[in-house]
Structure formats: C-alpha cells, structure tokens
C-alpha cells in the first residue's frame, strides 16, 4: 500500500486532535490549558463573542475562573464575579488593587487621566471633578445643555428621519448626540456632530478605533502588540493614526479655551475649571489637560450612548415595559397642563419631574445591569492576598471583574437573571429598590465610584422620556444585535430601527 504523504498525515492529525478536543468539551466545556500556548486557542475560537464566553466560563466555574495564557504572554488572570471578592477588591482592601502599571501601559492613550491614574494623582483629579460636578451652576448648565441639544439637535434629526421613512441607525444618532453634549460639558463648544446632514466626524471615528484596539491589546499577548507598535504595523499603526487625530482635536480645544480665558471668566465647563485650578497653583500643563479631556470624553460620550442604544433595543423587545413607561409619562404630564403647546409636547419634562418616575428609573437600571457600558474592570495586585472566595492572588497578578457577566449570574440576580424586568427595581411600597454598588456595578463601587452617576441618569432620563413620549421605535427584523469587541459595550453593527410618531 502506498505510504501516506505528509499533507494527508497532517490532516489526519488535525482531525484527531479536533475530535479529542470536542469530545473533551462535551464533558467539560472549560478551556484546555495546553502546553506553551495555555488557553489562548479557546480565546481565539471565541474572539467573536468574548463577553458572552467569559460569562459562560464564570457560570460554569462557580463565579471565579483562572485563565492561563501562553508562556511569557503576560495574560494570566483571575476573573471573578463573586460578590464578596468584588466588595473586597473595590472597597475593603482597595489600596492593594490599583489599576497598576500594566493597565496604564495597555491604555496609554488615556495618559495620566482619572481612569488610568492611581494614588495622589487620581485623588487630586477626582477632587477637582467632584467639586465641579456637585456645583449648582454646573447642574443648571447640564440641564440647559441637554434640553437645548434635544430641542435643536435630536428632535429635528428624528423628525427628518421619520419623514424619510427609512431605517435609522439609532446608535449612530446617540453617539452624535452625546459627542456634542460631552464637548459642551468639557469645553463649552458644540461641534454640531448631530445634524440633519449627518456629517462625517473624523474625531468620533478615531475614538471608535481607539476603544476597539485597546480591547484587542487587553486580549493579546503583550509581545504581539508591542512588536506591532515598535515597527508601526497592523492595528497599532491604526491606533497611532487615531491617537494623532484625537490629540490634534484636543490641542485645538485647549488653545481656544486659553484664549477665551483672557476675556471670559464666567464659564462653568470642566476645562475652564481645570484652568482656574492651574491659575490658582501657578502651573501650566497641557498634557494633564489633554489626558483629562480624553478620559472625560470616554466617560461622557461613549458610556451614555451605549446605555441609550441598548435601552431602546430592550424596549423594542419588551412592549409591555414600553407601555408602562408611556403610562407613567402620561400620568406625569397630565399633572402639568391639560392642553400643552406643540413645543411643550416635544419637550414635556424636566429633570426634577423625571426623578420621581420609579418605573423609568428601574428600566434604566435593568438595562445597565444587563448591558453595562463598561463591561469589565482590570486590577493589579500589589501584595500577595487571599480573596474571600479562597483564591490566592500574587503580586502583579491580573484580576478581572466582569460586570457583563455579573448581570447574567443566577447566584447574584436569581433564575430570571437573563430577563429584562424593570419591576426588579421597584419595592412593594412603590419606591426604587436599593441594590449595593458592588452588586449593581454599572457605576463602579468603593472609592472609585463614578462621579458622573447622577449626570448620566439625568441625561438618559431626559432623552428617554422625550423620545418615548413622542416616538415609537421598532427594531428592523433580521438585523443582528451583538456586542462589539471594545472596552465600551457598543453594538457591533449599530441598531437599525424604524421610527413612528406616537399618537397619544
């Protein structure tokens, strides 16, 4: 019999190992820790769905899973959604779990901003941000900005798109809306990204590239992306180009604001506040201002647009919940005026009224539980420690907390954890039900709990209430809705909807 040639032998060997792998997977779906490459093959197989794959691993392994990466790849990590562990890491022993130098290296685009920094640098930035966000004048500025952008940007665009009768990418609309409002909050300038013409915005596109590439850095062996960065090729080349675009944009914002400071001193945007802080200390640091703006752009633009997109998709899949929100809004508006004008119909609510709407608040919380805009947190251990779950973490260990997985754990939210149930957040007395931050982690917990939580809720409630009261959004049948591989949980292919004017 003629001897088999090497191609046939190779194919036979591959088939044998494939059968062996799938036979093993049938009885143990957890990834195999292979010699040299570790669990990297399983990660590569699931790179099209890393968030859901991670949630499955944590469910199968009892809330904690240790990933073993390839040798010298610096990818070994402990993932946990154990509530005792989460509380311990984010609060009880907070000082032993900073972002760390590895996080700063991976996310170097963010510089020394509040998301990247630790210790005193983080505290000083948080102090300035806290003083601004809690100032009454900023709250007035916030509400005025959102209402004007809804009136002059969001509603005219939606009206135009409704009249055209064609499917609309609602995610693109929300990204444009939040890009504009964030720039007004940060620098007092409206870039008019949200307009009927839907202009191309290179800065916004650069931001999307940065967020996606940083995610791939996190899931790649360190030597791979470092080599790409060194020789300027692949996704690292794309990252460099996107970063240059963002740096030029931010540099222009800072330069214009410095010029304005010579004649105008009554503005309340964030950049002005930092310039006032500079003047008081006699310092000047364009790099710190650049890093600050970069971080707050991520916080303001991407997180809110992500939450709004997933919220309207969930409503399109849950008409009963939408009907209850409409009912709550009608009840609120009926207490104001019986015959409102057209302008009052379009902009029917203010933030004080919306804060009293319990079901609306619960629906937003439920959306954030299932689809947290920031789907994970990465920490680094300073000293060896033993977590409440019994897992040991060594110095410089990677510890990953998956907020996306937490919302899908029966141990945390019950057997109905995969269902969209706003009632989950309503007490018997009709008030909003409190859940501890380390369980509902959409806004972080402990000392690093999100400064902009109330700002985000105010913005989302005003947009949601205005749009739902005036329009009905129907998701286009057959359009694929899956999370994008990014450090922000956007939809990979956007959200195509048909918009109809609601008849009340």
62 HSE (CA, 13 A, CB side): 3
How far, in Å, CA of 75 to CA of 282, rounded? 43
Annotated binding site for heme: 450
Backbone angles phi, psi at 66, to 5 degrees: -105, 115
How far, in Å, CA of 80 to CA of 63, rounded? 6
Backbone angles phi, psi at 38, to 5 degrees: 60, -135
Q: Quick one: pLDDT at residue 348?
A: 62
201 near 179, Cβ under 8 Å?
Answer: yes
How far, in Å, CA of 353 to CA of 165, rounded? 32
296 near 182, Cβ under 8 Å?
Answer: yes
Annotated binding site: 450
Task: For residue 494, give the 3-state DSSP assignment.
Answer: coil
Backbone angles phi, psi at 5, to 5 degrees: -85, 165
pLDDT tens for the chain, residues 1 to 504: 344 454 455 455 555 555 555 554 444 578 999 999 999 999 999 999 999 999 999 999 999 999 999 988 889 999 999 999 999 999 999 999 999 888 899 999 999 888 888 888 888 888 878 887 888 888 888 888 888 999 899 999 999 998 888 899 999 999 999 999 999 988 888 899 999 999 998 998 999 999 999 999 999 899 999 999 999 999 999 999 999 999 999 999 888 888 877 665 567 788 888 887 777 777 777 888 899 889 988 888 899 999 999 999 999 999 999 999 999 998 887 765 555 555 555 666 777 788 889 999 999 999 999 999 999 999 999 999 999 999 999 999 999 999 999 999 999 999 999 999 999 999 989 999 999 999 999 999 999 999 889 889 999 999 999 999 999 999 999 999 999 999 999 999 999 999 998 876
DSSP 8-state assignment for residue 153: I
Q: Quick one: pLDDT at residue 466?
A: 92
How far, in Å, CA of 136 to CA of 45, rounded? 51
Q: Quick one: pLDDT at residue 244?
A: 95
How far, in Å, CA of 183 to CA of 190, rounded? 6
Q: How many Cβ atoms are within 10 Å of 49's Cβ, its own excluded? A: 14
How far, in Å, CA of 258 to CA of 238, rounded? 31
Q: Quick one: pLDDT at residue 474?
A: 95
343 HSE (CA, 13 A, CB side): 4
Integer angstrom CA distances of residue 252 from 75, 107, 193, 283, 296:
38, 23, 17, 20, 16
Structure tokens belonging to residue 131: 């003083």
Q: Quick one: pLDDT at residue 279?
A: 75
484 near 490, Cβ under 8 Å?
Answer: yes
Quick one: fold of 47-501? Cytochrome p450 (1.10.630)
Structure tokens belonging to residue 304: 């809110």
Domain ranges of the chain: 47-501
In the chain, what's the furthest Cα-to-Cα distance?
A: 93
Q: What is the separation of C-alpha 307 from the centre of its chain, rounded to a whole number of angstroms?
A: 8
């Amino acid at each position: 019999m003629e001897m088999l040639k090497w191609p046939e032998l190779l194919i036979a060997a591959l088939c044998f190992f494939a059968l062996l792998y799938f036979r093993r997977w049938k009885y143990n779906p957890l990834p195999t820790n292979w010699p040299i490459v570790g669990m990297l093959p399983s990660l590569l197989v699931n790179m099209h769905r890393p968030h859901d794959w991670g949630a499955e691993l944590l469910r199968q392994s009892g809330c904690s899973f240790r990933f073993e990466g390839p040798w010298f790849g610096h990818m070994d990590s402990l993932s946990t959604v154990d509530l005792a562990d989460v509380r311990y890491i984010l609060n009880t022993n907070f000082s032993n779990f900073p972002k760390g130098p590895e996080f700063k290296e991976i996310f170097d685009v963010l510089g020394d901003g509040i998301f990247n920094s630790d210790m005193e640098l983080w505290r000083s930035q948080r102090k300035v941000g806290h003083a601004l966000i809690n100032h009454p004048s900023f709250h007035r500025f916030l509400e005025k900005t959102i209402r004007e952008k809804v009136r002059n940007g969001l509603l005219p665009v939606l009206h135009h798109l409704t009249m055209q009768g064609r499917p609309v990418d609602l995610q693109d609309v929300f990204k444009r809306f939040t890009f504009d409002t964030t720039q007004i909050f940060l620098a007092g300038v409206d870039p008019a990204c949200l307009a009927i013409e839907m202009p191309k915005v290179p800065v916004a596109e650069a931001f999307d590239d940065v967020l996606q590439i940083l995610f791939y850095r996190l899931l790649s062996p360190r030597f791979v992306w470092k080599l790409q960065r060194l020789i300027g090729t692949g996704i690292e080349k794309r990252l460099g180009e996107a970063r240059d675009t963002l740096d030029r944009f931010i540099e222009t914002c800072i330069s214009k604001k410095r010029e304005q400071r010579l004649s105008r001193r009554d503005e309340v945007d964030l950049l002005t506040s930092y310039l006032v802080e500079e003047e008081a200390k006699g310092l000047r640091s364009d790099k710190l201002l650049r890093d600050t703006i970069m971080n707050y752009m991520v916080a303001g633009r991407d997180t809110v647009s992500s939450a709004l997109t997933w919220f309207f998709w969930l409503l399109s899949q849950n008409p009963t919940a939408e009907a209850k929100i409409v009912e709550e809004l009608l009840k609120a508006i009926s207490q104001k005026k019986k015959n409102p004008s057209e302008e009052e119909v379009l902009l029917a609510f203010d933030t004080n009224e919306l804060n009293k709407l319990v079901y609306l608040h619960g629906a937003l919380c439920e959306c954030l539980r299932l689809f947290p805009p920031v789907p994970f947190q990465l920490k680094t251990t300073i000293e060896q420690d033993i977590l409440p779950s019994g897992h040991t973490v060594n110095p410089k260990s990677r510890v990953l907390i998956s907020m996306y997985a937490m919302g899908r754990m029966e141990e945390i939210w019950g057997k109905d954890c995969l269902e969209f149930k706003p009632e989950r957040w309503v007490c018997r007395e009709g008030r909003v039900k409190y859940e501890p931050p380390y369980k509902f982690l959409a806004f972080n917990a402990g000392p690093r709990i999100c400064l902009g939580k109330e700002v985000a809720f105010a913005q989302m409630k005003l947009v949601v209430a205005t749009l739902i009261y005036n329009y009905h959004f129907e998701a286009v049948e057959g359009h694929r809705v899956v999370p994008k591989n990014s450090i922000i949980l956007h939809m990979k292919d956007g959200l195509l909807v048909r918009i109809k004017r609601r008849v009340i």
